Chain A
Amino acid sequence: MNFDFSDDQQAIKRTAHDLVASRFKADTVRELAEAERYDDSLWGEVAELGWAGIFVSEDLGGQGLGMVELAILAEELGYAAAPLPFLANAAAGLALEHAGGEAQRERWLPGIASGETRGAAGMLRDGIAQLVPDADSAGVIVLLDRDGGVVLEPSDCEIEPVPAIDQTRRYARVTPREGAGEPLGGDVAPALDRIATVVAAEIVGVSQRGMEMAVEYARDRQQFGRPIGAYQAVSHRCADMLREVESARSTTYWSAWAADAEPETLPLASAMAKAYASDAGWNVTSSALQVLGGIGFTWEHDLQFFLKRAKVDGALFGSAGEHRERVAALSGLGAAVAAG
């Protein structure tokens, strides 16, 4: 029993943390978010480091590492709300790696791993994927539901930009043309479980940052002659944030580990991780806004980027409620009554 990262994983975490801190300073994030754009040179740098294909097998141009390493990167990028098409590209890569046929993998994964032909992925409901991160700039789009998936090229779909509340990323509505695209070759469940895990990992980083903003403010801000963090109405709120952030982290790391080492546990672990993280992301960042008070409600304060990213991430690839329903179905509560 060793519930901690290996030395190599610790090194990846440190490197990622330092790089993200130096490249995605608050001013940069704000500038890119307000302009609603990415800095291609930053994506180039990240791809050059092998992050885009960290989980892709080496023969297809990736690093051949696992979900734990991918979760580490997602958490660190989430900690900065980094404006990058990283999550979308990883989600498409996981779908192709774990549910794609041989030809699909060989065709698309090298471009996803190098970052040159980016991928995007989204959930298909009633023939439409309502919120697909980075679909407008992707070379390949994978749309999934729990029964299967389809691999599409941009010309196979109608792609309409969606002005999502999270401006640190681009989002689009994707409608595949009738009969267009190629079905994914394999079972989509292992891919969806991994995608849910990587989104959960991003939320862990986002929530950690939201909590730190609240705690720092509660230490400094004086009202009625003392720091507001001395009042239990505020400090207990912060203690609850810690419970949610650390529990989201523990369940997410468990799920990432299960994906690599104990796949039979992955369905339950990923449903628990995404359910927990989806709620924690909103609870922690909205509670942080309450601690910050008026300043937290202003455009000028950076908390908004984390609050909005957390809210959107909570809905991507299954909401908390949908994942709880999966937990119920996997825990002996008979047949599911709602679509999971």
Chain B
Amino acid sequence: MDLTLSPNEQAFRDELRDWVAANHPGEEPAGDEAAWAFRVAWQRQLHEQGYAGLSWPEQFGGRGATLIEQAIFGEEMARAKAPSPANILGLVMGGPVVIAHGTEEQKQRYLEPILSAEEIWCQGFSEPESGSDLASLKTKAVKSGDEWVVTGQKVWTTFAHHAKWCMLVARTDPDAPKHKGLTYFLMDMEQEAVQVRPLRQITGEAEFNELFIEEARIPDENVVGGVGNGWMVAITTLMHERAGLGAAAGASVKIALGQLIELARERGVDDDPVVRQKIAALLIEAEALRLNSWRGLTQIMKTGIPGPEGSLPKLQWANVNQGLTELAVAIQGEEGLSRDSDWTYRFLRARANSIEGGTTEILKNIIAERVLQLPRLR
């Protein structure tokens, strides 16, 4: 057991830390277009260093980093409060799926523009009537000559208005069992048949979009992983690149907890026993989440199979982030309810944490069924 970084890992972290310190682009500018340009520029900087495709094999322009290195990267970026690269979905989902399931032609065509942020990717999975029960999705694709004609509706599509490609899962065989009749496509967003509408959320902003698809065309060569294999391909997408996320989430809530302690001091409640107990409980849960991530990574690197602890960090992160923002607002009393406070924004935004990327309830189902081997509900 050694919870320190090896000399190589430490060298990697130091190199990263120095580079981020020297190249950090500062605060994200206000305004959608300016913020977007800022994130594109940041990704190009990352790409020049080989950090954009950190986990990708070197032959595809990546760095072939180990899981531990990916976790270190996530932790360091969170610690430095570095912006997220523009094409995050292409980097963490699209690229790895093309590498795992794509044809030689698809790898040649799609990978480099993902890394350089020349072509932005979005994800078309969820639908208005298919959230947690993703496999029930209804968007249909019908073969017509050597192309597919797609009609349906998608929701919660991040970056759709900037995207060139959409990772689209659609039903190609309505008669097959629901998990078997799906196909994974790369859909060109630049066509009239695809309409993007921003989706305003409780914070007032619109991070996500709805997609209205009316007889959009997708050439047959844009199927990834074969017709009817969409569920399997989509699941590997969701499982990809989780490695760095637990560690990054741990680092980011730790920073937020530092700010909460600062707030408690400013407001003179740092000696209140109830506040102290609550903050300590959050600090401990955050540490447990970080340790569970590292323990999970060690298991994957040793055995190839994630241990039970690897299933926990996402739901722990949601709990901690909701808990700490709730406490920050409570400490501020009536003043904490003003719309112009950053804590209030984070407090509202945190409500999504237990829904996005798998609801806490679905994650508990997964733990119950796959880790604890309890009988399935359905």
The chain A residues found within 8 Å of chain B, CB to CB, are: 1-6, 9, 68, 215, 218-219, 226-227, 229-232, 235-236, 238-240, 242-243, 246-251, 253-254, 257-258, 261-262, 272, 275-276, 321, 324-325, 327-328, 331-335, 337-338
**B294 proximal to A (CB < 8 A):** yes
B363 and chain A: residue at smallest CB distance: A239
Please determine whether A257 and B280 come into contact, CB atoms closer than 8 angstroms.
no
Please determine whether B3 and A251 come into contact, CB atoms closer than 8 angstroms.
no
A227 and chain B: residue at smallest CB distance: B375
Query: Known contacts being A227-B375, A254-B3, A272-B284, is A238 close to B271, with CB within 8 Å?
Result: no
What are 24 inter-chain pairs, A to B, with CB distance below 8 A?
A: A1-B6, A1-B294, A1-B297, A3-B291, A3-B298, A68-B1, A215-B373, A215-B374, A218-B374, A235-B364, A236-B361, A239-B365, A239-B368, A243-B312, A243-B316, A246-B309, A254-B287, A258-B3, A262-B4, A275-B281, A324-B277, A331-B283, A333-B261, A337-B273
Minimal beta-carbon separation of B277 from chain A (angstroms): 5
Which of B284, B287, B292 sits near A324, CB closer than 8 Å?
B284
Known contacts A235-B368, A247-B288, then 14 further A-B pairs from the complex at CB < 8 Å, ordered by chain A residue: A1-B68, A3-B294, A219-B373, A219-B374, A232-B365, A242-B367, A242-B371, A243-B367, A246-B312, A247-B285, A247-B291, A249-B309, A251-B291, A257-B3
Enumerate the 4 nearest inter-chain pairs by beta-carbon distance, A residue then B residue, closest first.
A247-B288, A235-B368, A250-B291, A324-B280
Question: Dominant SS at the A interface?
Answer: helix
- A6, A236, A335 — most chain B CB neighbours (10 Å): A236
Minimal beta-carbon separation of B185 from chain A (angstroms): 33
Query: Known contacts being A257-B3, A272-B284, is A4 close to B299, with CB within 8 Å?
Result: yes
Which of B1, B6, B258 sits near A3, CB closer than 8 Å?
B1
Minimal beta-carbon separation of B133 from chain A (angstroms): 14
Chain A residues contacting B68 (CB-CB under 8 Å) are 1
Chain B, interface residues (CB within 8 Å), range? 35 or more
Please determine whether B361 and A232 come into contact, CB atoms closer than 8 angstroms.
yes
**B178 proximal to A (CB < 8 A):** no
Query: Known contacts being A238-B368, A238-B374, is A333 close to B279, with CB within 8 Å?
Result: yes
Minimal beta-carbon separation of A230 from chain B (angstroms): 4
Please determine whether B1 and A242 come into contact, CB atoms closer than 8 angstroms.
no
Please determine whether B365 and A321 come into contact, CB atoms closer than 8 angstroms.
no
**B251 proximal to A (CB < 8 A):** no
Please determine whether B368 and A229 come into contact, CB atoms closer than 8 angstroms.
yes
The chain B residues found within 8 Å of chain A, CB to CB, are: 1-6, 9, 68, 258, 261, 264-265, 270-271, 273, 276-277, 279-281, 283-285, 287-289, 291-292, 294-295, 297-299, 302, 308-309, 311-312, 315-316, 361, 363-365, 367-369, 371-377
Measured in the bound complex, the distance between the Cα atoms of B161 and A202 in whole Å is 55
Chain A residues contacting B291 (CB-CB under 8 Å) are 3, 247, 250-251, 253-254
Query: Known contacts being A219-B375, A251-B291, is A1 close to B298, with CB within 8 Å?
Result: yes
Please determine whether B9 and A1 come into contact, CB atoms closer than 8 angstroms.
yes
Minimal beta-carbon separation of B81 from chain A (angstroms): 19
Measured in the bound complex, the distance between the Cα atoms of B283 and A247 in whole Å is 13
Minimal beta-carbon separation of B21 from chain A (angstroms): 22
Which of B273, B289, B295, B374 sits near A230, CB closer than 8 Å?
B374
Chain B residues contacting A328 (CB-CB under 8 Å) are 276-277, 279-280
Measured in the bound complex, the distance between the Cα atoms of B363 and A5 in whole Å is 28
Please determine whether B284 and A276 come into contact, CB atoms closer than 8 angstroms.
yes
Measured in the bound complex, the distance between the Cα atoms of B285 and A327 in whole Å is 12
Measured in the bound complex, the distance between the Cα atoms of B4 and A2 in whole Å is 8
Please determine whether B280 and A327 come into contact, CB atoms closer than 8 angstroms.
yes
Chain B residues contacting A250 (CB-CB under 8 Å) are 288, 291-292, 295, 309
Measured in the bound complex, the distance between the Cα atoms of B9 and A333 in whole Å is 32
- B276, B281, B295, B369 — most chain A CB neighbours (10 Å): B276
Question: Dominant SS at the B interface?
Answer: helix
Measured in the bound complex, the distance between the Cα atoms of B281 and A331 in whole Å is 12
Measured in the bound complex, the distance between the Cα atoms of B283 and A242 in whole Å is 19
Measured in the bound complex, the distance between the Cα atoms of B312 and A2 in whole Å is 19
A220 and chain B: residue at smallest CB distance: B375
Please determine whether B284 and A275 come into contact, CB atoms closer than 8 angstroms.
yes
Please determine whether A4 and B376 come into contact, CB atoms closer than 8 angstroms.
no
A280 and chain B: residue at smallest CB distance: B288
Please determine whether A235 and B1 come into contact, CB atoms closer than 8 angstroms.
no
Please determine whether B273 and A239 come into contact, CB atoms closer than 8 angstroms.
no
Measured in the bound complex, the distance between the Cα atoms of B272 and A338 in whole Å is 10
Which of B258, B298, B374 sits near A4, CB closer than 8 Å?
B298
Measured in the bound complex, the distance between the Cα atoms of B311 and A243 in whole Å is 9
Chain A residues contacting B287 (CB-CB under 8 Å) are 251, 254, 272
Please determine whether A235 and B308 come into contact, CB atoms closer than 8 angstroms.
no
Minimal beta-carbon separation of A113 from chain B (angstroms): 23
Minimal beta-carbon separation of A61 from chain B (angstroms): 26
Query: Known contacts being A3-B294, A327-B284, A332-B261, is A239 close to B364, with CB within 8 Å?
Result: yes
Minimal beta-carbon separation of B328 from chain A (angstroms): 14
Measured in the bound complex, the distance between the Cα atoms of B284 and A282 in whole Å is 17
Measured in the bound complex, the distance between the Cα atoms of B48 and A130 in whole Å is 65
Which of A2, A218, A246 sits near B2, CB closer than 8 Å?
A2
Please determine whether B281 and A324 come into contact, CB atoms closer than 8 angstroms.
yes
Which of B1, B265, B271 sits near A257, CB closer than 8 Å?
B1
Please determine whether A334 and B265 come into contact, CB atoms closer than 8 angstroms.
yes
B316 and chain A: residue at smallest CB distance: A243
Measured in the bound complex, the distance between the Cα atoms of B3 and A68 in whole Å is 13
Which of A2, A230, A240, A325 sits near B376, CB closer than 8 Å?
A230
Chain B residues contacting A335 (CB-CB under 8 Å) are 271
Chain A residues contacting B292 (CB-CB under 8 Å) are 246-247, 250
Measured in the bound complex, the distance between the Cα atoms of B376 and A337 in whole Å is 49
